[in-house]
């Protein structure tokens, strides 16, 4: 978890590779659907371009289908999901059904100014429609309103590790693995 630009997608790839599980990024799945012009993509695009969350029903169904695929049977890493309280509840139900459990929640913390600068930089490289300054600010607001409170829910379950997301990508990765080792030992 972490605000837009915290490095979730970046770190998710390393964590998933390390544990030999798929990284399931709701943002990536939405973007793939947008570029393929599917019905789901058309629906998601309206929300993403405005910096808003895609409705829970749409997102939950998509995740439910994805974690049901064979490659996720032995475990998976979720990147960008859950983002709302309704998604937390839905995820609990999904994994109760599949027989998985949540081992840990990695929360990346990054300064606001750094986030805006990272995303504006990505805008120049990738040209994502939601990486304009106004939309980035709206995404930050939505994150603070709807997603940040979720960390408290997972803290109460004792599975959160907070990791400083500032600095080089490699340094952040090292901190993530140290934090996960600490969680496994606790």
4 binds ligand B4P (CB under 6 A): yes
CA distance 90 to 82: 9
Q: Which of 24, 40, 48, 163 binds ligand B4P (CB under 6 A)?
A: 48
Known catalytic membership, residue 155: no
Check if 128 is active-site: yes
Strand duo 23-25 + 77-79: pairing: parallel
Q: Are residues 140 and 51 in contact, defined by beta-carbon separation less than 8 angstroms?
A: no
Specify whether 8 is catalytic.
yes
Question: DSSP assignment of 64-91, as one string?
Answer: HHHHTSGGGTT--EEES---SHHHHHHH
Residue 22 near ligand B4P by CB under 6 A: no
The dihedral built from the CA positions of residue 179, 100, 48 and 145, taken in this order, carries a sign that is: negative
Q: Who's near 44: CB < 8 A, 6+ residues apart? A: 30, 33, 34, 54, 58
Residues 140-179, mask of contacts with ligand B4P (x by CB under 6 A): ----------------------------xx--x-------
- The footprint of ligand B4P on residues 77-96 (CB under 6 A) is 80-81, 83, 87
User: Which residue's CB is nearer to ligand B4P, number 22 or number 80?
Assistant: 80
Q: How far is the CB of 185 from ligand B4P (least distance, A)?
A: 26
Q: Where on the chain is the footprint of ligand B4P (CB under 6 A)?
A: 4-10, 26-27, 30, 47-48, 53-54, 59, 80-81, 83, 87, 118, 122, 130, 139, 168-169, 172
């Amino acid at each position: 978890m972490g605000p837009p630009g915290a490095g979730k997608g970046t770190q998710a790839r390393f964590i998933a590779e390390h544990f030999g599980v798929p990284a399931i990024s709701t943002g990536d799945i939405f973007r793939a659907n947008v570029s393929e012009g599917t019905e789901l993509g058309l629906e998601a695009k309206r929300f993403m371009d405005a910096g808003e969350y895609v409705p829970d029903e749409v997102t939950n169904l998509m995740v439910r289908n994805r974690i049901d695929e064979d490659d996720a049977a032995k475990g998976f890493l979720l990147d960008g999901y859950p983002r709302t309280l309704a998604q937390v509840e839905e995820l609990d139900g999904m994994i109760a059904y599949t027989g998985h459990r949540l081992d840990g929640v990695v929360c990346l913390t990054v300064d606001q100014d750094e986030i805006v600068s990272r995303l504006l930089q990505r805008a120049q490289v990738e040209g994502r429609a939601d990486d304009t300054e106004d939309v980035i600010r709206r995404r930050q607001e939505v994150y603070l309103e709807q997603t940040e409170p979720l960390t408290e829910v997972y803290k109460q379950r004792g599975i959160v590790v907070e990791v400083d997301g500032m600095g080089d990508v490699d340094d952040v990765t090292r901190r993530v693995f140290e934090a996960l080792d600490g969680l496994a030992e606790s």
